[in-house]
Structure 1
Amino acid sequence: MKSFPNPYQTLLYILCVIGCYSLAADFKAYLPSRTTHQLWIVQATEKGDQLSLSVDEKIDLGFSAVTIVAHPEKLLLYVSTNVGEEGNSPGATIILEADGSYKSHRSLKLEHGYSYLSIDPDQKFLLGADYRGGHIDVYPLEKDGKLGSRVAFLDEGRSAAHAVLPSPDNRFVYIPYVKDSNALLQYAFDKTSGALTPLDPHNANPPEGTGPRHIAYHPALPIVYFSNEQDLGASVYKRDLTNGHLTLHQVVDVVSEEERPESGVSASDCLLSPDGRFLFTGQRSGNEAALPNGINRYRVGNDGLLEHLGLTSTGEIPWGLAFSPSGKVLLVTAFGGGVLHAFRLTKEGELLPAVTLPIDERISDLVTR
């Protein structure tokens, strides 16, 4: 006699699978707006093979919000402006509900405005890079995520410090400088006090004209990647796990000198896929006829070296990049066009356009959770 499964059990299983898949695929994105002084909360929803983006909320923050970082574990976001009065620059800590929606926020008074914020792997410090002044500030994080008074400060006498990100082992910090400052400064990081001590040599001396901008660490290899703001591509450095020194391993130029306009083009963000198989860098162009806007795609080899796969077109001035928690969707802010782009990442490293959402112009940064 042939048996059939209990229809109620089958239905329950199907609903569970659908529900679990939906919960795993759906996520939120958080975008600070310098023009409307708001935090945009965007909902990404999967229905079958369709992805949709919708605006959940817009939270008034009361200042020109530019830069954002998410706490790795707590339901907290930290937001700053990029240009502020020294010693009295506005910021905010955003407290989220368990589902990622807005709960409340508290105002912060920061030492500078920041173009880049990061949290160390031990989640004890918030670090900020002040692009215009070239300053680096380190703040302690209390157990509940509250920000304390600054405990470490750097002023190297040069502007255009574009990022600050502790190494995965939390022992070293690297600070890239773009444009005429063109440098890659190396420090030992005291994960107890937050102090930064220059290494010897202090500067990893990136090739002239590269302008290392943003940072990505390989998840398994002692390799560090940088987007090259001026050279339009990416650079690869080996990291000595003992002394922290960086050694240039590869420079990938995606545009030849003959093709590159004299001005109006630069690279933006730098992001690895969560599995470490692909790297992405933004290509910003103020002259589409001379050079298109888009995302440069690279395959990461077993040795950490890069192979350029091509350029995926985007809206005007692609700036910030962020993966969905699943790593299957890449979000890109088009700074000049006021558009949020969503792409699906294929197993071959292609980016397939999925959906777009109109947002404020001049939104640069975003995070997801």
Structure 2
Amino acid sequence: MIRLRCLWNSALPRHRFHSSTLIGSGLSARSLLRMKSWLPILWVTCLTFITSLSPSFAGSTVLYVSEAGDKRIAVYSLDQATGELTRKGDTTLPGSPGSLAISADRRHLYAAVRSERQLATLPVDPTTGQLGEPVITPPGINPVYVHIDKTGSWVLTASYGEGAAAISRIQDGIIVGAPVVTLETGKKAHSIQTDPSNRFAFVPHAGELNKVEQLRFDPVTGKFESNTPPYLPGGPGHGPRHMQFHPNGRWVYLVNEQGKSVTHCDFDPDKGTLTQRQTVPTVPPDWDQTQGSCADIHVSADGRFVYASTRGHDSLATYSVHQETGELSSLGQTPTEKTPRSFCLVPGPAGSGESYVVSAGEGSDALIVFKRDIATGKLTPLKTYPCGKGPAWVMAVVFE
């Protein structure tokens, strides 16, 4: 916001007024008092006018959606008072976008361009949230997931097709060149994430390998090496796909693609290893366990709730988190759009809690907005919006 201070110009001569001066000028004391009474009104009017000139997106919430079938990333604004979405534009890419990430300064958006085995950097206009022309890397691996390390110097990617994890360099906010490191981790590597200390990395593998690769990560050199033990085995038929750290940094939650479940793990910050503690289903007991698959998972900023999506059942499962043990208790499922491959919790302004959740229906080409009760975690559907073909990723960003 632009702030205005009304001051006398110091370059102008100043006068001391006495009653004789007022009489001589033709201004009565009553007239002066009337003029004085107008000053607050003038001040408010002037301030309102200047404030209206502020950038329209300052303090606003922007939603980015990878519309894979249309080879573009769409930009929406979200009204934090009502949850209403308004489409603002889109940017075309050379191939189908998937996973998204944004730089800490909110000036660059990073996208996996899966069909072309490339990565894209898109400049972000901080006053509008709109995206500029993409900078595309040479072909590398097919990136199913992108993650920016805590230094902002490296983009870590996982490749489902090649069964590998890779690291690419970021210079001046732009991903440059092909990957500098590629490490084979096995079939169906589905995501990658660093720990809060930025010294370790994890790669969940869905399907038959059914594991979470545990790596040491050097943020200075941008290199991986296997940790000890090198991986955490998944439970029978689990197939871990995505993971999220709890805000306290001591717990990790895995969503299991084949298992239609969420696993709670303890995290050892010294060794950089995971230990399984609990697994809970994402679907009701009477659901046909041969049907459907899990996709995405998120933890609320206050650490009190976990949400996970299940395709086929087409729902978002909600769990409360025990604040001493990290264990999960199911609060049920909320129906969502068809094939919820991706969803996001929308950050509140100025660090307030997430009052909305947006889920992308990959199978219905639609976005659905939920109102989230911060106290209970409950989701209430508000409105569904048509979008482009095959929304594969949705991410909300608040511009302060």
- TM-score tier by shorter-chain length is 0.7 to 0.9
Task: Give the structure 2 partner of residue 79 of structure 1.
Answer: 111
In 2, Cα distance between equivalents of 1:110 and 1:71: 22
Cα distance in 1 for residues equivalent to 2:142 and 2:187:
13
Q: Is 2:314 the counterpart of 1:293?
A: yes
Matches within 5 A, 1:1-369: 26-46=60-80, 49-84=81-116, 89-99=117-127, 100-156=129-185, 158-255=186-283, 259-263=287-291, 265-285=292-312, 292-303=313-324, 304-326=326-348, 327-346=354-373, 347-369=375-397
Structure 1 residues 80 and 334: alpha-carbon distance in aligned structure 2, compared to 1, 3 A threshold: same
Aligned AA for 2:328?
L
Report the AA paired with residue 75 of structure 1.
Answer: R
**Counterpart amino acid of 1:76?**
H
Q: Distance in 2 between matches of 1:259 and 1:102?
A: 42
Q: Partners in 1 of 2:53 and 2:305 — Cα distance?
A: 30
Indicate how the Cα distance of structure 1 residues 256 and 52 shifts in structure 2: closer, same or farther if over 3 A, else same.
closer
Amino acid at match of 2:282: V
CA 1:254–1:61 in structure 2 vs 1: closer, same or farther (change >3 Å)? closer
Rounded Cα–Cα distance in structure 2 between residues aligned with 1:261 and 1:45? 38
Deviation at 1:65, TM superposition (A): 1.8
Shift of 1:280: 0.6
Match of 1:289 in 2: none
- Judge which range, 60-69 or 110-119, deviates more: 60-69
8 A contact 1:54–1:357 mirrored in 2: no
Larger radius of gyration: 2
Q: Deviation of residue 126 (structure 1)?
A: 0.1
Tell me the amino acid that sits aligned with residue 302 of structure 1: Q
**Distance (Å, rounded) in 1 between the aligned partners of 2:370 and 2:283:** 23
Task: For residue 234 of structure 1, report the CA deviation from its aligned partner.
Answer: 0.6
Q: 1:54 to 1:208 in 2, by over 3 A?
A: same
Given the two structures, how large is their TM-score scaled by the length of structure 2? 0.81
Q: Give me the whole-angstrom Cα distance separating, in 1, the residues matched to 2:177 and 2:343.
A: 29
Please report how far the alpha carbon of residue 175 of structure 1 lies from its aligned counterpart in structure 2 after TM superposition: 0.8
1:365 match: secondary structure: strand
Measure the CA separation in 2 of the matches of 1:7 and 1:114.
58
Distance 1:77 1:313, change over 3 A: same
TM-score by length of 1: 0.87
Give the aligned CA root-mean-square deviation in angstroms.
Answer: 2.6
User: Following the alignment from structure 2 to structure 1, what is the Cα–Cα distance between the partners of residues 265 and 114?
Assistant: 28
Count, aligned residues: 351
SS state of the match for residue 242, structure 2?
Answer: strand
Report if aligned partners of 2:245, 2:253 keep a CA contact under 8 Å in 1. Answer: yes
1:122 and 1:37 map into 2 onto residues whose CA distance is 30
**What's the offset of the Cα at 1:316?**
0.6
Residue type matched to 1:279 in 2? V
| Alpha carbons 1:74, 1:145 under 8 Å: kept | no
Separation (CA, whole Å) in 2 of partners of 1:19 and 1:273: 35
Map Cα deviations across residues 227-265 of structure 1 (whole Å, 9 max, x no partner).
1111112101111111112110111123467633423x0
TM-aligned CA deviation for residue 293 of structure 1: 1.2
CA distance in structure 2 between the aligned counterparts of 1:19 and 1:278, rounded to whole angstroms: 39
Paired letter, 1:57: G
